[in-house]
Structure 1
Amino acid sequence: MQSSPIRTVVILFAAVIGLLFAVPNFLSKDVVDALPGWLPKQSMVLGLDLQGGSHLLLEVNRDSIVTERLSDLRRDARNVLANENGIGNIITTDVASNTITIELTDPTQKDAAQTAVEGLQNTLSNALFAGTGTNELSFGETADGKLTIGLTPDGISQRMSALVAQSVEVIRSRIDELGTTEPTIQRQGDTRLLVQVPGFGDSERLKNIISQTARLTFHMVYPGLTPDQAEAQGLPPGTMILPSQDGTRELLYEDIAIGGESLSDAQPSFDQQRGIPVVTFRFDTRGAITFGEITSQSVGQRFAIVLDNTVITAPVIQQPITGGSGQISGSFTTASANDLAVLLRAGALPASLDVVEERSVGPSLGADSVRGGVIAGIIGGVSTVLFMLIAYGTFGAFANLALILNIGLVIGALSALGATLTLPGIAGIVLTMGMAVDANVLIFERMREEQAAGRGAVQSIQAGFQNAMSAILDSNVTTFIAAVVLFFLGSGPVQGFAVTLAIGILTTLFTAYFITMLIIGRWYTWRRPKKLKIQLLRLIPDDTTVPFMSWRRIAIIASMVLTLGSVGLFFIHGMNLGIDFKGGTSVEVQHQDGPADVGHIRELLSALDLGDVQVQGFGTPEDVLIRIELQDGGPEAQQAAVDSVVTTLATENYELRRTEAVSGTVSSELALSSTIGLSVAVLGILIYLWFRFEWQFAVGAVVSTLHDVVLTLGFFSLTGIEFNQSSIAAILTIVGYSLNDTVVVYDRVREFQRKYRKIPLVDLLDRAINSTLSRTVLTGPTTLFALLALAVFGGEVIQSFVLSMIFGVLIGTYSSIFIAAPILVNLGLKDRPEPETEAKEKSVDGAAV
């Protein structure tokens, strides 16, 4: 109770700093800008689901890299053999085996040819280990004497990894050209890039700008031969056929006369003579010289401008162009000319990128989500504050002060870290309220018990904090383990929830112990009460002796039936998997002229021949959710399906609110990572509890937790609620919450083992559960109030998360009493502690008396 001035100053300093970081979130931008420079001005970044915007997950196209690399290798091999060594050859490409085959016109030159092509070996450096590298090429020979050059698997992987790193900067330059603010561009693994652009609602335009390679090259057109004639008699060496933008084809030299990397600028323009949009470009000094030489030597010949292996235009060179500038004309609109200029200025992507996941949220939906989340938070907070005041009076006011500070510290920490606040993140803040209240309830209940045992006011306060901290620490650490697993194995909104939950746990431990103790200590020094009036409303009498263990067999049988039923439902009926897990596209639209007609929408979309299209009401009567199955033909076909749906419904006055598209690859990976995540979380919790308790407690906690997970999956299967990414977050949170309850009971069992030697284990378990029953009855409703507020006002987007959480809170409380405790008997937990421990307890009890 005697807090030193230094300790007090440190605690208050930490609290004030946290609140200072939170303040900018509640001020207007003008006020924040006017604050002194030494004050923090950074506020939380709202996620796409709260302000609208676009989210793209891009993957480097492996096939295009292999094809392009083999094409380059084929050209290099031909040049090194024919041009440098004068060895005649015929080279064929086999993309399936990642090799090229060289047939020599003079087999006696095989050794010289072998030596020449081995000089093409390229060693790719390893970014992780300096001084090491990977050989990109392998050399061999076929049975009939032909030479082969192949791309090694490690070489392909290393090249893909390097290309992803290069793509980050190119994409950043392109997005900066669009004038958007605070884009997120992150590398994910070796082959993927995550791009999030808040406030940019045109996901189709963003996707085209980001994913288009924009590789500009200039080639001379092969004279005197049409593509059809060349195919009929065999392509001349060093030539290729490419499609033109106007639907025809062109026969070009493979060699690049000049590349787009020599461009110094590109701008949209308008050709006054022809009345069409064009793109003007300018070369750098070296490029201008090269361009001038080429055009001077090729007057009267055709010169092709190629963008991403498509001929945009192939004009005849009328005269030398020595000014270093030119013009690209084609079937451009004003917007497409502007976008092409953006792409050329930012530079070409070093590899083709496929869109494997796409999400876009309209600003109106984002505003609705913010409003719903804030309302849910206010209702949850007010109900929690009132409940604590009614239950604990003055001490409830202390807890509320700590709770308000806790929420402020969470917001301050999120602001200081620059974290992104998502709708599941708001759910994490609301859930933090319940956890913070639980910590204070544990402390207050222990204080009340100590006072009832005959201790004075000061001793009761001290013992209350000391004895409660073990349960608070253990229960919060187990939840923290689940949050850490969520962060590292989750993505997007799930990570946002994990960050919020983890910060909430840390701030809860800080406020529950340091802040509440400081407040109560100062209050006691001021008032000096002889008796603490801790609880005003007593829902569970002190002498409650509910015989829980006498019902344990019935409860276990009921749980086994429910578990088997859940497993049966899961395998027979399955779950309503969202697109996160099965791939496809989800489109949310809103009717602007009253309630939506779901039946009429089904009729309209059935005529589009898109396969399985599900249409259902969603949220308000005006909202409709449409799910489109994965289309044959890849991302282009999927986007075409979405465009046709949106276009069809736009004629009926439906506004697009949100789209989500997930490829089959991503969905299967998510299912695997979710299973791994849950397994890692349970294993981590098992290890922690094994160290903190005896092994029986660890096994009992894991068994009861798995019981809750299986029943929750059965709940999803029975109700048909959509199972998506946020559902994984809900299950891991249920794991944490259930363990929270279980650890509180186990902590009391461990304490009573030391205190009561001669009581049989079954009676000891009953006593432990009854002693924590008042805490359970007080904490459960506060958490449920917050979750119910989210269920009503949080919106449909997180409905599956909230409903499963409500079920999890109820089933977690049940399993802590009827599964986790009885299993200790079956696992052979000892009835009494070691004699030494008992002797110490007797002496302590005697001294207290």
Structure 2
Amino acid sequence: MLYFAPWKTVLIWLTVAVGVLFALPNLYPQSVRDSLPEIIPNDTLALGLDLQGGVHLQLRLDRQDLVEQRLESVADEVRRALRAEGIGYTGLSGRGQRVSFTLRDPADAEATREALSDLTTPIQTGVLTGGTVREVTIDEGADGRFVLDITDQGLDYRMASALSQTVEVIRGRIDELGTTEPVIQRQGADRIIVQVPGLGDPERLKDLIGTTARLTFQMVDTTVSTEEALQSRPPVGTELLYSTDDPPVPYVLETREIVTGENLEDAQAGFDQRTNEPIVTFRFDGTGAQRFGRATQENVGRPFAIVLDDQVISAPVIREPILGGSGQISGNFTVDGANDLAILLRAGALPLKPTFVEERTVGPSLGADSIAAGEIAGIIGAILVVGFMFVAYGFLGLIANLALLINITLVIAALSALGATLTLPGIAGIVLTVGMAVDSNVLIFERIREERLGGRSLIQAIDAGFQRAFTTIVDANVTTLIAAIILFYLGSGPIRGFAVTLAIGIVTTVFTAFILTRWMMAFWLRRRKPKELPLGLGRHLRPDTHIKFMWLRRYSFTLSALVVVASMALFATVNMNLGIDFKGGSLVEVQAIEGEADIGAIRTDLSDLNLGDVQVQGFGAPSDALIRIESQGGGDNAEQSAIAKVRAVLEDDYNIRRVEVVGPTVSGELATAGTIAVLAALAAILIYIWLRFEWQFALGAIIATTHDVLLTIGMFVVTGLEFNLSSIAAILTIVGYSLNDTVVVYDRVRENLRRYKKMPIPELLDMSMNQTLPRTILTSVTTLLALLALFFFGGEVLRSFVSAMIFGVVIGTYSSIFIAAPILIMFRLRPGALSQEDDEAKKEKAATANTAPVDMDTA
């Protein structure tokens, strides 16, 4: 175990070198990265919007809007086709996904089928797949009645096309803003995620990407006055639209479109040479120029309207034919307004108007504060962990610290190479990785110390310690890896980021703890030829204590049962402080531009907006305030309207540092996805432990973990801490930590069951608890040191999250000792349960019993 062939040594350190190479660009400024040769990696770890500031939006395309659009389109096609053939009909109408009409003369049925054949022709869905979709089917009645059904397959195809088109249009619009590295991607069957780092004006972004931008040029109908049209219906072939003026001016327009935005070739913002007002100049393509020129030739002296999304921007009078295919739009624009309109027209129109169902905005100042706080907390936490490991294990602590440093470097390298984004839940994954990495080294060192106290030579003790710790390390990390994989596939957003970071951390932990640490120990043995282990204060935590843990089980079971019941009762009767992630609504963090935040004045100003329950409280510094607004109950758009009102009231006196808006659609999905993810992870871990150990161990691990989750939920109820998506990530971290701790204990119980077949189970469990007690104490202390640094120095945003983590570590340590192990007695576990040792166990026992001295010149 302690001999490494030269090629293995080269491979180990080559892996470390590659990791350092991929991680180093994160320390370089952009100018240095740009000057690096292409052969050298220059990808960096992207920071999430919660760390660097920016805007996260989730848009939804409404399928019902598509149905109505297709219904109108099919009806228009039917009307056009029948008129072209001179076929009389009556009762043309559309409802649901069906268009129907009746022929005046049933003898025209054959001609009707021929005229409508283009509607029922299958369309190709892809060049590579070669599939086809029939969008419309026709049923014919005996009395000349025709029914056209819009198929679900056709709607699915149209929705997929609309999503793809919307993504491209939005990307074109955002690219025009000059932002860096925006993310625009599809999610599911009807969603689009838009993330723009560093953007400080979310309202402008929403206006830019939420506007359909359908541009049309239509003639103004001067034969009827607007007063007549307002008092009665507009004449057939006309419609009543309003201008963008304040107050809006009504216009009666011909529904016939002269030309549309699809014929635009270019649009640019500029200034009118006469008035110096901002305008938008445009240029048509050949077809558009021809149509526009012909229309202006035929209508000199008449006004025509430029219409954007059913609003009249401008209605100039045609003084002379416009034959050059270009023109200008004026309409009291601001400079930004003219530029944004030009961007919209160049990028093209959206096929459907999107709805904003989720918004998360973090101002650049808050992002900078989060990064600064995270750096300080990370440095302090690292110093505490490194110092503690050195004090506990002396020189061996230095080896563990070096392995931990390389571990974190490899995690950062992997995230950088994958182009992953580091968020606050991702930091939680790294914290758990640190805990597991330290735990793995503590397991190895404690095993070595046990073997040395058992009378083995130093080399034999180190070799046996690594062998015995390997199975425990693998079991503990595999259970956490299972949870991470399931959370990645079933979770969403921050939960997936947590899962990716955790999965990478598990792989790097096994590598650094079992391979890299073992190589460094072998190198130390070969160079120094020590006679004894250089242990620090950890030597005072002896594995041969005789604490009667099982005698205390009646008290611990009673206490835990009472607390769990109380937690469930409180959860059922007291309203948990659910965040907007789960109940919808809005959250706004503001900072006073001057002086301290006036909580009372903010509350008074917002109470006049009729937004329902509005809570205002201090948050962090005296200049900061946190505003919570209940769900508006009017759908996803109502939440956006509420935020717009709040911004208008506060933006003169306060900087908007953070905005989170979650509509009812997303809040329900997040709650469901988070619950399913946690339950599925527990089920998969149950199966693994059942297969790897015995059914008693599997049930014991799940009961202990469920105990920790329920108590954590009770803690949220009692303390009133906000329960949001980050809280789910905290619970998942607690699950991972608790399982890791429990599996370590169970692994020692399983080993002792094989070794002491006639020992009474309570006595055997006591012995196992005492043997693993030093490892439990040391791991818990190091993890708590890292968490306490985050709690005191990580900033207000992280505080509630870290509070749950600290509580989880304490309760997880308690449950692994006082719940997970004693419950095996209740399940009638007997020493003979594992009497049939598998081949692997026999080999391990034989190898341990006959460990040969290691050649110090080749170790």
Secondary structure of 2:831's aligned partner: coil
Name the residue aligned to 1:505.
Answer: 506
Distance 1:160 1:845, change over 3 A: closer
1:159 to 2:158 alignment: yes
Q: Which moved more, 1:447-456 or 1:7-16?
A: 447-456
1:242–1:249 CA contact under 8 A, matched in 2: yes
1:548–1:766 CA contact under 8 A, matched in 2: yes
What amino acid does structure 1 have at the position aligned with 2:149?
Answer: G
1:420–1:496 CA contact under 8 A, matched in 2: yes
Distance 1:797 1:544, change over 3 A: same
Name the residue aligned to 1:482.
Answer: 483
Name the residue aligned to 1:697.
Answer: 697
User: Following superposition of structure 1 onto structure 2, how do residues 41-120 of structure 1 map, counting pairs within 5 Å?
Assistant: 41-94=42-95, 97-106=96-105, 108-110=107-109, 112-113=111-112, 116-117=115-116, 119-120=118-119
2:386–2:401 CA contact under 8 A, matched in 1: yes
- Between the aligned residues of both structures, percent identity stands at 54
Give the deviation of 1:42 after TM superposition: 1.7
2:87–2:112 CA contact under 8 A, matched in 1: no
Distance 1:625 1:146 in 2: 62
2:464–2:848 CA contact under 8 A, matched in 1: no
Secondary structure of 2:539's aligned partner: coil
Q: TM-score, normalised by structure 2?
A: 0.93
Give the deviation of 1:203 after TM superposition: 0.3
Distance 1:166 1:383 in 2: 52
What amino acid does structure 1 have at the position aligned with 2:129?
Answer: A
Distance 1:772 1:126, change over 3 A: farther
User: Following superposition of structure 1 onto structure 2, how do residues 426-441 of structure 1 map, counting pairs within 5 Å?
Assistant: 426-441=427-442
Give the deviation of 1:609 after TM superposition: 2.2
1:172 to 2:176 alignment: no
Give the deviation of 1:239 after TM superposition: 4.7
Distance 1:126 1:750 in 2: 58
What amino acid does structure 2 have at the position aligned with 1:748?
Answer: R
Distance 1:513 1:395 in 2: 14
1:194 to 2:193 alignment: yes
Name the residue aligned to 1:21.
Answer: 22
Name the residue aligned to 2:855.
Answer: none
Aligned length: 846
Give the deviation of 1:660 after TM superposition: 0.8
Secondary structure of 1:350's aligned partner: coil
Deviations 1:643-689 (A, max 9, x none): 332333344x3221111111011001111111111111112211221
Give the deviation of 1:784 after TM superposition: 0.6
Name the residue aligned to 1:458.
Answer: 459
Secondary structure of 1:759's aligned partner: coil
What amino acid does structure 2 have at the position aligned with 1:705?
Answer: T
Give the deviation of 1:306 after TM superposition: 2.1
Name the residue aligned to 1:314.
Answer: 315
What amino acid does structure 2 have at the position aligned with 1:715?
Answer: M
2:357–2:637 CA contact under 8 A, matched in 1: no
Give the deviation of 1:837 after TM superposition: 4.1
User: Following superposition of structure 1 onto structure 2, how do residues 186-585 of structure 1 map, counting pairs within 5 Å?
Assistant: 186-222=185-221, 224-226=223-225, 239-246=238-245, 247-585=248-586
Distance 1:138 1:792 in 2: 66
Distance 1:752 1:129 in 2: 61
Distance 2:34 2:150 in 1: 56
2:53–2:366 CA contact under 8 A, matched in 1: yes
Distance 2:519 2:401 in 1: 14
1:427–1:790 CA contact under 8 A, matched in 2: no
Distance 1:145 1:621, change over 3 A: farther
Give the deviation of 1:170 after TM superposition: 1.2
Secondary structure of 1:282's aligned partner: strand
Secondary structure of 2:294's aligned partner: helix
Distance 1:587 1:431, change over 3 A: same
Name the residue aligned to 1:595.
Answer: 596
Give the deviation of 1:571 after TM superposition: 1.0
Distance 1:835 1:63 in 2: 64
Distance 1:241 1:111, change over 3 A: farther
Deviations 1:442-484 (A, max 9, x none): 0101111111122222221111111111111111122222222
Q: Which moved more, 1:146-155 or 1:121-130?
A: 121-130
Distance 1:567 1:122 in 2: 60
Distance 2:674 2:483 in 1: 12
Q: Which moved more, 1:217-226 or 1:514-523?
A: 217-226
Secondary structure of 2:119's aligned partner: coil
What amino acid does structure 1 have at the position aligned with 2:658?
Answer: R
Distance 1:603 1:238, change over 3 A: closer
Give the deviation of 1:325 after TM superposition: 0.6
Distance 1:437 1:843, change over 3 A: closer
Name the residue aligned to 1:707.
Answer: 707
Distance 2:14 2:115 in 1: 71
Distance 1:85 1:459, change over 3 A: farther
Name the residue aligned to 1:671.
Answer: 671
Give the deviation of 1:7 after TM superposition: 0.5
Name the residue aligned to 1:755.
Answer: 755
What amino acid does structure 1 have at the position aligned with 2:671?
Answer: A
Q: Which moved more, 1:401-410 or 1:814-823?
A: 814-823
Name the residue aligned to 1:662.
Answer: 662
Distance 1:201 1:128 in 2: 42
Distance 2:410 2:321 in 1: 68
Give the deviation of 1:38 after TM superposition: 2.4
What amino acid does structure 2 have at the position aligned with 1:504?
Answer: G
Give the deviation of 1:717 after TM superposition: 0.9
Deviations 1:215-260 (A, max 9, x none): 1123344562456756888666655444433434444444433221
Distance 1:704 1:375 in 2: 35
2:243–2:311 CA contact under 8 A, matched in 1: yes
2:89–2:104 CA contact under 8 A, matched in 1: yes
Q: Which moved more, 1:125-134 or 1:509-518?
A: 125-134
1:124–1:159 CA contact under 8 A, matched in 2: no
Secondary structure of 1:256's aligned partner: strand
Distance 1:834 1:823, change over 3 A: closer
Distance 2:636 2:228 in 1: 34
Distance 1:23 1:814, change over 3 A: same
What amino acid does structure 2 have at the position aligned with 1:824?
Answer: L
What amino acid does structure 1 have at the position aligned with 2:818?
Answer: F
Secondary structure of 1:349's aligned partner: coil
Give the deviation of 1:822 after TM superposition: 2.0
Distance 2:569 2:405 in 1: 45
Distance 1:655 1:2, change over 3 A: same
2:444–2:466 CA contact under 8 A, matched in 1: yes
What amino acid does structure 1 have at the position aligned with 2:613?
Answer: D
Name the residue aligned to 1:40.
Answer: 41
Secondary structure of 1:186's aligned partner: strand
Name the residue aligned to 2:716.
Answer: 716
Give the deviation of 1:560 after TM superposition: 1.5
Distance 1:236 1:592, change over 3 A: closer
1:369–1:423 CA contact under 8 A, matched in 2: no
Q: Which moved more, 1:677-686 or 1:438-447?
A: 677-686
Q: Which moved more, 1:714-723 or 1:306-315?
A: 306-315
What amino acid does structure 2 have at the position aligned with 1:400?
Answer: N
Deviations 1:109-129 (A, max 9, x none): 456435544541264655699
Distance 1:826 1:135, change over 3 A: farther
1:124–1:158 CA contact under 8 A, matched in 2: no
Name the residue aligned to 2:736.
Answer: 736
Name the residue aligned to 2:857.
Answer: none
1:44–1:418 CA contact under 8 A, matched in 2: yes
Deviations 1:690-723 (A, max 9, x none): 2211122112111111111111111111111000
Name the residue aligned to 2:807.
Answer: 807
Deviations 1:40-69 (A, max 9, x none): 222111211122111111111333322222
What amino acid does structure 1 have at the position aligned with 2:171?
Answer: R
CA RMSD of aligned residues (A): 2.6
Name the residue aligned to 1:727.
Answer: 727
Distance 1:561 1:480, change over 3 A: same
What amino acid does structure 1 have at the position aligned with 2:721?
Answer: I
Secondary structure of 2:71's aligned partner: helix
Distance 1:339 1:201 in 2: 16
Distance 1:160 1:227 in 2: 38
